[in-house]
A and B are shown apart, each in its own frame.
Chain A
Amino acid sequence: MAIGWYLVVSALIFCVGAAGVLLRRNPLVILLCLELMLNAGNLALIAFARMSGTGDGQIFAIIVMVVAACEVTIGLGIIVAMFRRRLPIDVDELRELQG
């Protein structure tokens, strides 16, 4: 099967994730969409690795997963903290950090 299909799927997933990040206001959903984007990238990397026949892309994918895990840990921690302080779960409301 041509590599193009894999990339198309990857691009679709990436676009879904990006749209989610841009359109949704719930930070939990934004995190999920970020995961979608990262994994779309992973898919592309794996496809390229398969195509070139080396393991380099797979190493990249594993590192991306590690980073994604770290990011989710921190992101969920922040969301829990927001919940405990009874802050609104809405990124448009949380805009005190501005110039």
Chain B
Amino acid sequence: MSATTAAWIALAAPLVGLLVISLGWRVWSGRAAGVIGTLAIAVSFAAAILGIADLQSLGEDERQLTSTAWDYANTVGVDASVTLLVDPLALFMTLVISGVSTLIHLYATGYMASDRGYVRFFAYLNFFVFSMLLLVLAGNFLMLIVGWAFVGAASYLLISFWYRRETATGAGIKAFVINVIGDVGLVLGTYFIVFDGGTGSLDLLTTFGEVGRTFAENEGSLVAGCILLLVGAFAKSAQVPFHTWLADAMEGPTPVSALIHAATMVTAGVYLIGRMWPLFEQAPAAADVGAVVGCATLLIAASIALTQTDLKRVIAYSTMSQIGYMIMAVSAGAYVGGFFHFMTHAFFKALLFMAAGSVIAAMANVQNLDRMGGFRKAMPFTFGCFVVGGLALSAIPPFSGYFSKDEILLLIGEQGGWYWVLYVLGYLGALVTAIYTFRMIFRTFLGDPVPEARELEEGHLHHAEPSNPADGTVEDTDVGFPGPEHHIAERTPSMKVAMAVLAVLATIGGVVQIPDVTHVLDSFLEPTFAGSAKFDQPTDTTLLVFGLVLSAVLGLTGIAIAYLIWVRRPGTAARLRERLAPVYELSFHKWYFDELFDLVFVRPSAAIGRWASSTFERVVVDGVFVGGTTSLVRVGSAAVRAAQSGFLRVYAALLLLGLTGVALWLLLEST
């Protein structure tokens, strides 16, 4: 099978799955929809493997293939066609996305089993995977924008999956609005790059090939276009200041958080910047903006994660932080590092979310860390997975995150100059990452078992009516709310298998790219980045060894600090909170971003809206437009009505007068 055929199959399988599941929604009983959905994604995964095998058999210069299905609109100035770009980067993304998605689908077949919206859930999930693959396989800007918008829509559908929960629908709207801001950025950026001084061709490879000739370095319209692309990337990847939607997106079911809001969709921004590398290398000013924002996000998000009490939100902020690393990496030219971290992050973050889902199920939908504790004995498997994920996230050797995070920072350090600031801040972020990760683990699994954990130790899963984690209101279990039963990994084989596979991958995933030992990703991705000035192997061995040691030391220090604060001396956290009250408040309130947006955007808009409805609507619309027109008609008709007096003889007189007048006029004219 040729690589392009494989790519088409990988793209088509989730679409077929979506159609089969959604059209037959009445037919699928039991877990049939879940099985179909999982199989569809598994087909994608298999196709991606076959495609990579075929691509590797080609010469290095021939590994960027395009395949056009049909011309969509090929007219003056537009060359929109349905084209896939199949190259190592696209297939690498396809492989990771479909692989992790398969496992998450498998997990969801168990986790969502009692939900009344089971069939709908898998239809949405397949739609999401289709959109995401469309995004990464797109061969021109048009397809990219379509995929980009589709994943935003899928995200909206899945965040508000429990649509009778008001907090969930609100979070969905918030996510969608911010994503649309990003969509606008992407579309405008495309305009600047393609039509404002560019080649005029929507095709990606043409644009990339000509960028050196059409734009001077740091030329205005290219920098503007690239910064607009960055706006799109920031909104999709939850980077400051477009990050506020991601924490709220945790209202969706946990598999959604794992799939969309950790492993795949939020990394679309990383893919976008990495894919557009020829543009960003020609516009270093824009690339620097990306690097700085990524660095800022990784620190801000890590500091917020330190104090959040919602288990899923802690992981969500850690996701933002890790994506900050990736954005920083691809913006600074550490492409392979960024995509390597994307892969390992997909493994360990999906694993963490799955384990968190298992804990939340054991707590009967409670997500508050304050009420958790001592689950170690009750859920040994979940505990193990959580720790593996946590170690990988904290970059402890030899877990996968260790190598990927280190490669990013090494490549950034090698750039020298002011990148050293990013280098240092990146390591600071690594320390904080270890602290908040193990804070979460210690508070959930160590300490005295809470009643729910004790109940589970005695062999009985705690049951409670589902309640809203945000405000604690009890909900019924009809469609549009979480299902009545809870499923934990220990008792559900499908969840257990998915988590076990991911745990293995999170542990050993780093072997593909051990510094100075293996270069699997480097050599695989090289054809995509051929010609890049920044794509080079790290050479500084001293810095490499220093970074590896520093990373390990920082990770272990972070764990030790977390152990001291939350296990060894349990009162320390409260004391610190009192002593550092302003800092704590800043972190706990998420740096007041929501309040700031509320003040700057929401309230002025609401005030304008109120003014419009009370004053503008009443005075201008009702008074001038509507009232003006009606009174004009009224006055006119009154004048006409006055002539209709009802006196027959007046009519006759007017008629005669008129006729006489016309006759006289004709006579005068004829002479």
Interface residues of A (CB under 8 A from B): 18, 21-23, 25, 30, 91-92, 94-99
Contacts and interface: CB of A to CB of B under 8 A. Distances in A.
A96 B649 contact: no
Interface stretch (B21-29, B393-401, B462-470, B638-646): B638-646
Nearest to A91: B648
The dominant DSSP class at the B interface is helix
Size class of the contact patch on chain B: 10 to 19
Nearest to B648: A91
B418 interface: no
A97 B649 contact: no
B619 interface: no
B647 A95 contact: yes
Interface string B637-668: 00011111111110011001000000000000
Nearest to B640: A99
Interface of B: 640-649, 652-653, 656
Contact of A97 (B642, B646, B652): B646
14 contacts: A18-B656, A21-B649, A91-B647, A91-B649, A92-B647, A94-B648, A96-B646, A97-B646, A98-B644, A99-B640, A99-B641, A99-B642, A99-B643, A99-B644
Which 10 interchain pairs have the tightest Cβ spacing? A99-B641, A95-B646, A98-B646, A99-B644, A91-B648, A98-B644, A21-B652, A22-B653, A97-B646, A22-B649
Contacts of A95: 645-648
A34 B644 CA distance: 22
Contacts of B644: 98-99
A18 B643 CA distance: 21
Nearest to A95: B646
Contacts of A92: 647-649
Contacts of A97: 646
Contacts of B648: 30, 91-92, 94-95
A22 to B, nearest CB: 6
Interface centre among B646, B653, B656 (most CB of A within 10 A): B646
Nearest to B660: A18
Contacts of A99: 640-645
B649 to A, nearest CB: 6
B643 A22 contact: no
A69 B649 CA distance: 22
A16 to B, nearest CB: 13
Contacts of B646: 95-98
A99 B644 CA distance: 5
A98 B656 contact: no
A97 B643 CA distance: 12
B192 to A, nearest CB: 63
A21 B649 CA distance: 7
Given A91-B647, A98-B646, A99-B643, 14 more contacts: A18-B656, A21-B652, A22-B649, A25-B649, A30-B648, A91-B649, A92-B647, A95-B646, A95-B647, A95-B648, A96-B646, A97-B646, A98-B644, A98-B645
Contacts of A94: 648
B163 to A, nearest CB: 57
Contacts of B645: 95, 98-99
B620 to A, nearest CB: 32
A97 B644 CA distance: 8
Nearest to B653: A22
A95 B641 CA distance: 14
A18 B656 CA distance: 8
Given A91-B648, A94-B648, A95-B647, A22 B656 contact: yes
A61 to B, nearest CB: 20
Contact of A22 (B640, B641, B642, B652): B652
A24 to B, nearest CB: 9
